[in-house]
Structure 1
């Protein structure tokens, strides 16, 4: 029965373990997970200006003018030029279906420009976004929240994952009257920085009052996680 013990333990505690070399000696495989939650301290805003006209140059001039005002506004807010990324010009011809002639007919041009803005302070988020809309932005993309100290937070999550793996090994070994020996191998799963879409509550920006705009946004937290797979030898 003792020879069956490692097999039973390994099957009982292996969850999503990646392929790795296993020892011939009695062993167990365990996962460890660590999580750290933090409030975002930076955010990337994406807004666009879309103009339609039968005259392409007229639409372009209007879009360029609004984008120029938006860039000037951002610089007035103290945002560095390196954090303001204006897109190139996009022009699309539009058509509409004429039921009488049963043909697609030219329906003007759509000209668009967009700008990505990195805010190094989340506190500016609500007011800057409100100001961009008032200046001429008529499309708002999904804001991306991030963590400037992600590497530090991931290191903490990784340490928690190590601790969790060791605790799991000890618990399962005790359940089978075994003892945890030396670690045989470690497989750390590399996590990319999480897509920064935390829990965010957004309401319509109906008021010009700064306090009302600020209250309409509630930025939640971002989870930084780390996972480690470990193989431990079992002592008799």
Structure 2
């Protein structure tokens, strides 16, 4: 009777793992989750540049001048030469169509972007302001990271393993069963999440394109590393 009950209990997980090797005897499938949060110590910023002109050459020259102004000023920040990437030029005519379906030119648009890695987050707002002042049309993306990423991911994976074991044990116990050896383990995903949270105190400014300081409490950046594993445990008969 107990074997029949267990077989019914684990029918859904088994179907979810169609195509994955499973033991012939009683077993259970669990998913373990692990996450570790940390304060980042670097940021990857992408500055976007775009200029429009009646001809392609002036648009290109304006974009190049703005990009060069940014690159020339980066020596004043803790940014390594290897951590700077400037894209190739993209230039094309911007065309719309009127109500009669006839093409209407809006001039020529030239675009480039520059990506840099900053290793001193206390100067992040200063760098953003400088990039916009140098002529960037906008800030495409800001990604936070930690130099201890590998250790943090390993810690998250250990937590995921412990969580899987705990879930398996609790589930088996609830049906008066005991877990046996692990039959298989699959790593489902590794994910990095980032964002701001309210902190009691920090020296960081909020990220804004206006250059103004935040009033009151400041925003504290945080990165979160997540790991998910799926484990198949045999059940003791």
TM-score by length of 2: 0.81
What does 1:89-128 align with in structure 2 at a 5 Å threshold?
A: 89-95=89-95, 103-128=102-127
Where do 5+ consecutive residues of structure 1 fail to align?
none
Residue of structure 1 in register with 2:44 after alignment: 44
Q: How many residues align?
A: 229
Write the distance in 2 (CA, Å) between the matches of 1:15 and 1:41: 43
Structure 1 residues 18 and 160, CA, compared in 2 at 3 Å: closer, same or farther?
A: farther
Structure 1 residues 45 and 58, CA, compared in 2 at 3 Å: closer, same or farther?
A: same
Residue of structure 2 in register with 1:198 after alignment: 195
Decide whether the 8 Å contact of 2:78 with 2:119 is kept in 1.
Answer: no
Residue of structure 2 in register with 1:162 after alignment: 161
Following superposition, the deviation at residue 177 of structure 1 comes to: 1.3
Write the distance in 2 (CA, Å) between the matches of 1:163 and 1:42: 30
**Is it true that 1:71 corresponds to 2:71 in the alignment?**
yes
TM-score by length of 1: 0.81
Where do 5+ consecutive residues of structure 2 fail to align?
198-205
Write the distance in 2 (CA, Å) between the matches of 1:52 and 1:188: 48
Following superposition, the deviation at residue 160 of structure 1 comes to: 1.0
Structure 1 residues 220 and 19, CA, compared in 2 at 3 Å: closer, same or farther?
A: farther
Structure 1 residues 12 and 220, CA, compared in 2 at 3 Å: closer, same or farther?
A: farther
SS at match of 2:141: coil
Decide whether the 8 Å contact of 1:36 with 1:156 is kept in 2.
Answer: yes
SS at match of 1:198: strand
* Alpha-carbon RMSD: 3.0
SS at match of 2:37: strand
Structure 1 residues 216 and 102, CA, compared in 2 at 3 Å: closer, same or farther?
A: farther
Following superposition, the deviation at residue 70 of structure 1 comes to: 0.7
Residue of structure 2 in register with 1:23 after alignment: 23
